[in-house]
C-alpha cells in the first residue's frame, strides 16, 4: 500500500494520471467509479483532459460501486444520476458503457448476481476509484461487513445516513435505509485501487486503513491484503498517521518513471 500525502489538487491530478494511463494503455479499459465528494475533483480534471487534450473514454466501460435501494429513476441523488452529471455528461463514454447495481429491481438478489457477472464479462476492473467513510466503510460496506463479501443488499448505518444527509438537503429521513453495494471481495478483485480521502473527519479511518489491524470493524483495512493500492490523502486526512513522515520521504524520493 502506497500512501501519498499532498494538497487536494495534486491528489486529483495523480488519480487522473492513473485513470489516463489505463485509458491509453488498455484496448478495452474498465474503470471502477465512485460517488461521494472525494472523487469529484478527479472527474473535473478528467473532463478537462477530455476537453483540452482529447483524452477519450470511448473504448471504456465503467462500473459503479453502489446504489441506494428504492430512489426513483429520476431522483438526483440516485448514484446512477450522480455519476451521469459528474462524469458521463462531461466525457465521451459510449451509451450503455456505465453500469451500476439496479436499486429499483423487483428481484434485488438477482440484480446483485447479474452485476457481479457483468463485471466478470467485462474482464474485471482495471482501476477502482474509492472514497472512504468516516467509519472506515468503502462503497457501502459498513463495519461488520464480511471481508469476503460480494455484491449484495446492505442496511446503512445511522452514521452513514447522517453523513450523506447533506446530499438530501439535510433531511435524514430522506436518506434511504438500504443499498446495493459491491462487496469487499468484489472490490479486492480490481487490479489497482486508488483511494482518495481529504479532511480531518477521515483521519481516523485513514489511520486504520493503512496502519490498523485488519478487521471487519474497519472494512477498508481489507485493502492491506491487496497487492496494488494507492492511498491519496491531504494533510488533514493524514493527521493521525503514525508513519506520515516516512510516507512523505518515500514519495519525495520516488523515481518519476514509477507512476502510481
For ligand GLP, the binding residues (CB under 6 A) are: 34-38, 65-66, 131-133, 139-140, 160, 164
Among all residues, which ones are annotated catalytic?
66, 135, 137, 142
> Of the candidates 122, 146, 124, 142, which has an alpha carbon nearest to the alpha carbon of residue 133?
142
> Which residue is associated with the grid cell 491530478?
13
Shortest CB 37 distance to ligand GLP, Å? 4
Shortest CB 112 distance to ligand GLP, Å? 16
Shortest CB 11 distance to ligand GLP, Å? 12
Judged by CB, which is closer to ligand GLP: 115, or 140? 140
Judged by CB, which is closer to ligand GLP: 37, or 155? 37
Shortest CB 8 distance to ligand GLP, Å? 12
Q: Are 201 and 234 in contact (CB under 8 A)?
A: no
Contacts of 201 (CB under 8 A, 6+ apart): 134
Shortest CB 129 distance to ligand GLP, Å? 9
Judged by CB, which is closer to ligand GLP: 143, or 243? 143
Judged by CB, which is closer to ligand GLP: 29, or 136? 136
Buried b or exposed e, range 107-129, using 16+ CB within 10 angstroms: ebeebbeebbeebeebeebbbbb
Judged by CB, which is closer to ligand GLP: 55, or 103? 103
Look up residue 17 and give its three cell numbers: 494520471
Cross-sheet strand order for the sheet of 98-99 = 2-5, 229-233, 192-197, 127-130, 30-33, 61-64, 98-99
Alpha carbon 111 to chain centroid distance?
Answer: 20
Q: Are 140 and 179 in contact (CB under 8 A)?
A: yes
Long-range own/partner contacts, residues 161-164 (CB < 8 A, 24 or more apart) = 163/133, 163/134
Amino acid at each position: 500500500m502506497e500512501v501519498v500525502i499532498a494538497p487536494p489538487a495534486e491528489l486529483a491530478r495523480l488519480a487522473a494520471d492513473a485513470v489516463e494511463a489505463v485509458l491509453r494503455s488498455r484496448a478495452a479499459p474498465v474503470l471502477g467509479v465512485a460517488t461521494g465528494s472525494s472523487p469529484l475533483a478527479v472527474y473535473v480534471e478528467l473532463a478537462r483532459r477530455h476537453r483540452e487534450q482529447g483524452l477519450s473514454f470511448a473504448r471504456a466501460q465503467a462500473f459503479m460501486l453502489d446504489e441506494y435501494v428504492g430512489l426513483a429513476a429520476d431522483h438526483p441523488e440516485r448514484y446512477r444520476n450522480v455519476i451521469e452529471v459528474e462524469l458521463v455528461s462531461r466525457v465521451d463514454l459510449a451509451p450503455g458503457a456505465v453500469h451500476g447495481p439496479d436499486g429499483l429491481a423487483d428481484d434485488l438478489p438477482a440484480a446483485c448476481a447479474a452485476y457481479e457477472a457483468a463485471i466478470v464479462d467485462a474482464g474485471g476492473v482495471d482501476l477502482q476509484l474509492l472514497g472512504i467513510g468516516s467509519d472506515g466503510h468503502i462503497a457501502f460496506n459498513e463495519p461488520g461487513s464480511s471481508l469476503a463479501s460480494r455484491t449484495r443488499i446492505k442496511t446503512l448505518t445511522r452514521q452513514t445516513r447522517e453523513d450523506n444527509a447533506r446530499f438530501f438537503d439535510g433531511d435524514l429521513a430522506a436518506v434511504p435505509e438500504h443499498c446495493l453495494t459491491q462487496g469487499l471481495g468484489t472490490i479486492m478483485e480490481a487490479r489497482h485501487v486508488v483511494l482518495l480521502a481529504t479532511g480531518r473527519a477521515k483521519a481516523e479511518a485513514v489511520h486504520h486503513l493503512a496502519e490498523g489491524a485488519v478487521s471487519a470493524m474497519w472494512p477498508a483495512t481489507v485493502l492491506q491484503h491487496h497487492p496494488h493500492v494507492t492511498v491519496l490523502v491531504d494533510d488533514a486526512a493524514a493527521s493521525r498517521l503514525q508513519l506520515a513522515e516516512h510516507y512523505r520521504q518515500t514519495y519525495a524520493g520516488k523515481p518519476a518513471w514509477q507512476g502510481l
